Structure 1
């Protein structure tokens, strides 16, 4: 379980990006985070992974408060957290399998990582994961030659190579066409169901959130204004998330 308690973040200039944010997320669930641009969605995901330094609160994951970990401990914890980026974050001159194998670097020595020394078992696992995301025939293609949807699926396979317990997805379908969107969201839904992964995903598309997510969090101006079951969110509640309110939206 992930439990976020009273998380706050203020950027330079006094902009409050997160205001006393609290929620829980569970293994086997897809949690969609929605809200207008600038609501704090990306800041929230980056805080959970401590890619940015927030101001106060607790982020409890795997029995530890991530905000209190040493640098070494944080590195170990991050190895259990996959990250999917809007811009794919791949090394495009490398092949699909080479990018996927990079997901195992946290388990390797520095020398083995620098020299790209991967075992036969690791290569077999990478190929299996590439097959799982529907890219078997592209395993040895350069990522620069892949479409956006294919690149995003490479990113998912790379994250799975980490053996994560949680995946954080920051607008992973923002640049994708409808067909690729369906493929990526179907894969993420399947990973939650079959591998019992905890998946948190920032989305702009409310219909996609309600179709694929179990849990819905609505953010506006850094505050949580909705926290409930995605399928049960009403049009009135969705409208309130985007119009801006100062308290939790209920019927």
Structure 2
């Protein structure tokens, strides 16, 4: 379980991005984080694995407050947290399998990583994951030759190579066509259902959130204004998330 308590973040210049954000995400569930642009969605995800250093609060994951870990401990914690980026974050001059194998670097020594020394088992696992995301025919293709949807699936396979307990997805379908969107979302849904992962996903597409998520968090102006099971969310609830003076959720 992931539990966040009263998380706050202010950027240089006094811009308040998060204010007293508290939420719970559970294993085996997809949690969609929705809200207007600038609401703090990306800041929230990047705070969870401390890509952004926040101001105050708690981020409890796997029995630890991530905010209080030293460098070595944080590296270990991050190995359990996969990250999917809107811009894919791949090395396009490398092949699909080479990019996926990079997901195992956290478990390797610096020298082994620099020299790309991967075991036979690691290579077989990478090929299996590539097959699971539907890219078996592209394992040895350069990522520069792949479509956006294919690149995003490579990113998912690379994250799975970490053996994560949680996957953070920052607008992973923002640049994808409808078919690729469906493929990516079905993979994420399957990871929650079959591998019991926690999936947190920032989305602009409300219809996608309602179709695939178990739980919806609404952010507006850095505050949580909606927090409930997807099945209970009404059209009015969703509309209110995007109102500039949306009331803060209580409870």
Tell me the TM-score normalised to structure 2 length: 0.98
Q: How many residues align?
A: 250
Distance in 1 between residues matched to 2:199 and 2:239, nearest whole Å = 24
Shift of 1:230: 1.3
CA distance in 2, matches of 1:169, 1:123: 25
Residue matched to 1:190: 190
Matched, 1:246 2:216: no
Whether 1:94 and 2:114 are equivalent positions in the alignment is: no
C-alpha separation in 2, matches of 1:196 and 1:247: 30
Match for residue 52 of structure 2?
Answer: 52
Aligned 8 A contact 1:237 1:249 in 2 = no
Identify the range of structure 1 (118-127 vs 237-246) with the bigger mean alpha-carbon deviation.
Answer: 237-246
CA distance in 2 between counterparts of 1:116 and 1:232 reads 48
| Contact 1:240–1:249 under 8 Å retained in 2 | no
Q: Distance in 1 between matches of 2:39 and 2:105?
A: 33
2:152 counterpart SS class: helix
User: Secondary structure in 2 aligned to 1:89?
Assistant: coil
Unaligned runs of 5+ in 1: none
2:125 maps to what in 1?
125
- Counterpart Cα distance in 2 of 1:144 and 1:188: 23
Q: CA deviation at 1:249?
A: 7.8
2:158 is matched with: 158
**Shift of residue 68 of structure 1?**
0.3
The residue that corresponds to 2:61 in the other structure is 61
Distance in 1, matches of 2:24 and 2:120, equals 39
- Gaps spanning 5+ residues in structure 2: where? none
Alpha-carbon contact 1:223-1:246 (below 8 Å) kept: no
| Alpha-carbon distance in structure 2 between the residues aligned to 1:47 and 1:107 | 23
Runs of 4+ in 1 over 2 A off after TM superposition: none
SS in 2 for 1:39: coil
Give the TM-score normalised by the residue count of structure 1. 0.98
Q: What RMSD over aligned residues (CA atoms) do the two structures have, in Å?
A: 0.9
1:99-248 correspondence runs (5 A): 99-244=99-244, 245-248=246-249
Give the superposition deviation at 1:154.
Answer: 0.1
